[in-house]
Amino acid sequence: MSDNQPKKEISAIKGTRDILPDEARLWQIAEARAREIFELYGYRELRAPVIEPTELFEKGTGASSDIVTKEMYTFTDKGGRSVTLRPEYTPSVVRAIIEHRLDLQAQPLRFYYIGPMFRYDRPQKGRYRQFHQIDIEVFGEKDPAVDAEIVEMAHRLLSQLGVEKAMTLVNSVGCRKCRPAYGQELRKASMAARDRLCPDCQRKAELNPLRIFDCKVESCREVAATFPLISDFLCPECREHFQKFREYLDFYGIEHRVEPTLVRGLDYYTKTAFEIVAEHLGAQNAICGGGRYDDMVKEFGGPDLCGIGFAMGLERLLSVARIQVPKSSFVYFAYLGQQAKKDSLRLARLLRSEGIECLVEFKERGMKAHFSRANKLGADWVLVVGEDELKKGKFQLKDMVNSRQFEGSALELVSLIKGKKILE
RNA sequence: GUGAGUGUAGCUCAAGGGUUAGAGCACCGGACUGUGGAUCCGGUGGUUGGGGGUUCGAAUCCCCUCACUCACCCCA
């Protein structure tokens, strides 16, 4: 035991942070808007645990994905089970559907959830180890109209939160019938051009040729321009689905750009993949990402139930949102003496039961100090409780914004405060 | 995991080898014992991220380490 260890202050662990009250207010508003909007479209909240068996993600997210291979918070619990803090939400919902036979309910099923996710990444702007997602999923609806509807719903939320210049990128990644052929062709092309690629892309040619498309090196871009595109390989069914999806987007008046190289990092997507990107977010500019995953439920041993959904990153969303915080108003009690303190406490109970926020501080102060304090705290009203008031049963109420003062009984002042609240 | 940048008071920043590391804001108190914001005065607050080295002398120069930030990778 060494006693000269450098004293180290305990701080939040890397990639996590505290959301202090001023900021938490913005979170509350954003979350409330999301819930309101999703409920308008028939979505209902489904809360799954933060912690799940590790195999859920190995199977669902994909054993070869970056998330599973190097970004999961995985540990062994006291019972010897391997458990993981969820890095994403979709596999949990799929698990819940199968476990509770939710597929027996009338379809389509629509769920939403808001909560923390965990990924052991190196933190940077817009990327944290504990981050928060707004997640929605629809099960049992094959019609591409629903693909467009969730994009439209995402845009409604963004516009409610004052997010401007959000660009929608769309693609179809095909299905198990048509995608493999494309993968082979792309690999063939990239391997053939290997010696003209940068070292980084030479590695990608073997591991994930799709990533060569977003290399910034000019020579790589030239090479990549000659590569085949998924759009030329889509089977008739996928092609039609993608076309209808885009028709519905046009129907909704949602501007979008086809991004033939948009694949998303998760293995399970089929057909539709999309992303919404925003400005001023730095390198991590995707504010929302989603797509269709028609095979996942079945692969988990469940019924043949198609799915589609998206996730929005709350941290990223809030960094581009412009949220008006409604002004709250409260009454500060300026009392003089022990008796008045108790009367203040009693009056505050009355006002609170009328829905009025009250603050009675326990430290005794002079009248000047009370007002000074009330001003600093941003009180809208100061209720003066002193000997004179107690004798008369009438109190002085000062409007701190207009510097006007009123006198009245407790009930008269209640209606005065409530009346003003309604006017605002 | 790789690379770069930054670490001085709660916050924003000075001091660039030379007394006891300063200022503004914030906080607490006073001028002002029944009425706020302004002004003035005073006060609390620092092992200069941590450790080692060079030097008569280190916040300052060197090495190590930690933290934060941004980027790569990947993604929300």
Burial of A83-107, coded b for 16+ CB within 10 Å and e otherwise, reads: bbbbbbbbbbbbbebbeeebbeeee
Q: Is residue A203 part of a domain?
A: no
Which nucleotide lies closest to A70 by the C1' atom and the CA atom? Answer: B1
Which of A320, A352, A372 terminates a domain? The answer is A320
Residue nearest to nucleotide B75 (CA to C1'): A265
Residue A423 pLDDT more than 80? no
Which of A272, A290, A320 terminates a domain? The answer is A320
Over residues A383-404, mean pLDDT: 90
| 3-class secondary structure, A151 | helix
**Whether A365 and A254 share a structural domain:** no
**Whether A102 and A242 share a structural domain:** yes
Which nucleotide lies closest to A366 by the C1' atom and the CA atom? Answer: B33
Which nucleotide lies closest to A290 by the C1' atom and the CA atom? Answer: B76
How long is the CA A364 to C1' B42 vector, in angstroms? 23
Nucleotides of chain B in contact with protein CB (under 7 A) are 1-3, 27-30, 32-37, 47, 50-51, 67-76
Residue A41 pLDDT more than 80? yes
**Whether A112 and A174 share a structural domain:** yes
**Whether A139 and A278 share a structural domain:** yes
Residue A370 phi/psi, 5-degree rounding, is -60, -50
How long is the CA A126 to C1' B4 vector, in angstroms? 19
Per-residue pLDDT at A279? 84
How many domains would you assign to chain A?
Answer: 2
Better-scored residue on pLDDT, A364 or A270: A270
Q: Is residue A413 part of a domain?
A: yes
- A319 class by beta-carbon count within 10 Å (0-12 exposed, 13-18 middle, 19+ buried): middle
Residue nearest to nucleotide B26 (CA to C1'): A376
Residue nearest to nucleotide B32 (CA to C1'): A368
Which nucleotide lies closest to A282 by the C1' atom and the CA atom? Answer: B70
Tell me, what CATH number does A165's domain have? 3.30.930.10
How wide is the angle at C-alpha A48 spanned by C-alphas A44 and A53, nearest 5°? Answer: 150
Which nucleotide lies closest to A130 by the C1' atom and the CA atom? Answer: B76
Q: Is residue A411 part of a domain?
A: yes
How long is the CA A312 to C1' B12 vector, in angstroms? 33
A208-244 pLDDT per residue, tens: 788 888 777 778 888 888 889 999 999 999 999 999 9
Q: Is residue A205 part of a domain?
A: no
pLDDT band at A204 (very low <50, low <70, confident <90, very high): confident
**CB-CB contact of A414 with A351 (8 Å):** yes
**Whether A134 and A66 share a structural domain:** yes
**Whether A109 and A162 share a structural domain:** yes
Residue A360 pLDDT more than 80? yes
Residue A156 pLDDT more than 70? yes
pLDDT band at A397 (very low <50, low <70, confident <90, very high): very high
| Tokens coding A196 | 């003209």
Q: Is residue A199 part of a domain?
A: no
Structural domain containing residue A344: 330-418
Return the sign of the alpha-carbon dihedral for residues A33, A35, A36, A37: positive
Which nucleotide lies closest to A124 by the C1' atom and the CA atom? Answer: B70
**Whether A264 and A343 share a structural domain:** no
Residue nearest to nucleotide B69 (CA to C1'): A124
Residue labelled with tokens 């997010």: A163
How long is the CA A334 to C1' B48 vector, in angstroms? 43
Which of A320, A345, A370 terminates a domain? The answer is A320
Residue A5 pLDDT more than 50? no
Phi/psi class of residue A123: alpha, beta or left (left: φ > 0; alpha: ψ in -120 to 50)?
A: beta
| 3-class secondary structure, A249 | helix
pLDDT band at A2 (very low <50, low <70, confident <90, very high): very low
How long is the CA A376 to C1' B25 vector, in angstroms? 15
Of A71, A41, A36, the residue nearest A309 (C-alpha) = A41
The CA distance from A208 to A183, in Å, is 9
How long is the CA A6 to C1' B16 vector, in angstroms? 29
**Whether A248 and A365 share a structural domain:** no
Per-residue pLDDT at A12? 87
**Whether A163 and A300 share a structural domain:** yes
Q: Is residue A206 part of a domain?
A: no
A301-327 pLDDT per residue, tens: 999 999 999 999 999 999 999 998 888
Per-residue pLDDT at A422? 53
Per-residue pLDDT at A284? 87
Q: Is residue A113 part of a domain?
A: yes
Residue nearest to nucleotide B74 (CA to C1'): A66
How long is the CA A87 to C1' B9 vector, in angstroms? 39
A361: which residues sit within 8 A by CB, 6+ positions away?
A332, A333, A373
How long is the CA A2 to C1' B57 vector, in angstroms? 32
**Whether A282 and A365 share a structural domain:** no
**Whether A307 and A336 share a structural domain:** no
pLDDT band at A421 (very low <50, low <70, confident <90, very high): low
Of A379, A389, A406, the residue nearest A343 (C-alpha) = A389
Tell me, what CATH number does A339's domain have? 3.40.50.800
How long is the CA A125 to C1' B5 vector, in angstroms? 14
Residue nearest to nucleotide B37 (CA to C1'): A375
Per-residue pLDDT at A265? 62
How long is the CA A332 to C1' B26 vector, in angstroms? 22
Residue A166 pLDDT more than 70? yes
Q: Is residue A7 part of a domain?
A: no
Q: What is the ipTM of this complex?
A: 0.87
Over residues A67-79, mean pLDDT: 93
How long is the CA A290 to C1' B23 vector, in angstroms? 51
Percentage of chain A lying above the pLDDT 90 cut: 65
Which nucleotide lies closest to A15 by the C1' atom and the CA atom? Answer: B68
**Whether A315 and A334 share a structural domain:** no
Q: How far is CA A74 from CA A16, A63, A86, A132, A294, in A?
A: 17, 14, 9, 18, 27
